Structure 1
């Protein structure tokens, strides 16, 4: 999220960095969810899977790696909601939002497509099974890991995205933030968000991630996708405008 540095590179280079960073993020979280989270379940041996705790740390570590690797090039958003939130806070030009969002969606979709290609060489029925189970897509009601309804999903996505964007805005503030530690702080924040909310709706807070899994998650995932497109953006807008109004003009003691 180093937006000041992103202005010195070519726009096309920044878009490639956004696509690659989003690819890394989605590849890490969805691969861990599908390949490793439940590994060993249903066998006589003890379950060696990482569970949702492992998924949470996978996404946080991947985001930290992406921020440090690609942040100096593109700002390291890797999330349409983050891009919108930064624009609302005055940290990113609105005219650049559409291109960033498209790059992020492409990177995320490539990640899940490669996971499908890996699954084609998996055990018999593996790919069909994970697709029948939603392909780690976000969902509510019958598609929620714990049966939470649409109201819970709406609140979770708006609230936790707002928290996420607020942390990003604070830690990357040009005068009061700590840019050296920003990747670690942002990654750990996303880890905590996943630890808290995976059982509710599989945790989106990132429309690109939601689109990428819904592409392979079946009709139910596609029907419910709108919640995970609209409400992360709503939360990001609230956070961006609120942070700008409350803190951007604040003076340090």
Structure 2
């Protein structure tokens, strides 16, 4: 169990450091910024690489919504859910702390504008609460659905990290303008702790919507099987 917790900590750290780090440090760098597409790819690559590194140890969840979804889908032990979530939130928080330290070296930089999730005035495109709920729920639904399907018995599990990484990339390409893309409560919590009260007050959405979407995604994936 200690090895699993360490793997989830490191995996979620890498996801937050790589994904949010690309948004904070590189997305809008004058003249050479990687933009939304670069940030989306960074999130996907972070999951892909760490899934290959520690997937055989912990299953490479790196996301409370995935952990809860796999539990609801009958793929994960209930007693391990809470330790996994604690490790994931801790990994994201440590990564966000390091990113905040680095970002503080640039005068006038606001970490929340790039790394924290929000709706309304805090949304990059100033999208509404309803838009944020829909995009986060649907995005996490398909993330967990695809995780469940590509890791199902009989599938080529060695290719699963590629499918999951590309799925996360696609989700970000669609939803960054709406919410800065969460689909991961741990990834949202870490940066929000350093982004200010406004982001913390909206954090509830980035737990509720991904968890709801993940649960439904797992149930649908469990219902759609090759054999009865």
Q: In which range does the TM-score fall when normalised by the shorter chain?
A: over 0.9
The reply to whether residue 234 of structure 1 matches residue 212 of structure 2 is yes
Give the alignment partner of residue 110 of structure 2, picking from 127, 130, 134. Answer: 130
- Runs of 5+ consecutive residues of structure 2 not aligned to the other structure: none
Which residue in 2 is equivalent to 1:34? 24
Q: Secondary structure at the match of 2:7?
A: helix
Residue 92 (structure 2) aligns with: 108
Who is 2:58 aligned against? 74
Aligned partner of 2:227 in structure 1 is: 251
* Alignment partners' CA distance in 2, 1:135 and 1:101: 24
CA RMSD of aligned residues (A): 1.2
Aligned to 1:50: 34
Distance 1:174 1:193 in 2: 25
**What is the CA distance between 1:155 and its match in structure 2?**
0.8
State the Cα deviation string for residues 54-82 of structure 1 (Å, max 9, x = none).
Answer: 00000101100010001011000000000
Shift of 1:135: 4.9
Gap regions ≥5 residues in structure 1:
1-10, 41-46
Q: Is the 8 A contact 2:25 2:103 kept in 1?
A: no
Q: Which residue of 2 aligns with 1:210?
A: 188
1:251 is displaced (CA, Å) by: 1.6
Contact kept? 1:135, 1:217, Cα under 8 Å? no
Q: Does 1:158 align with 2:142?
A: no
- Secondary structure of 2:60's partner? coil
TM-score scaled to structure 2, two decimals?
Answer: 0.97
Deviation above 4 Å: which 4+ runs of structure 1? Answer: none
2:153 maps to which residue?
A: 174
Deviation at 1:51, TM superposition (A): 0.4
Hey, what does 2:15 align to over in structure 1? 25
Taking structure 1 as the reference length, what is the TM-score of the superposition?
A: 0.87
State the distance in 2 between where 1:158 and 1:116 align: 28
Q: Which residue of 2 is the match for residue 198 of structure 1?
A: 176
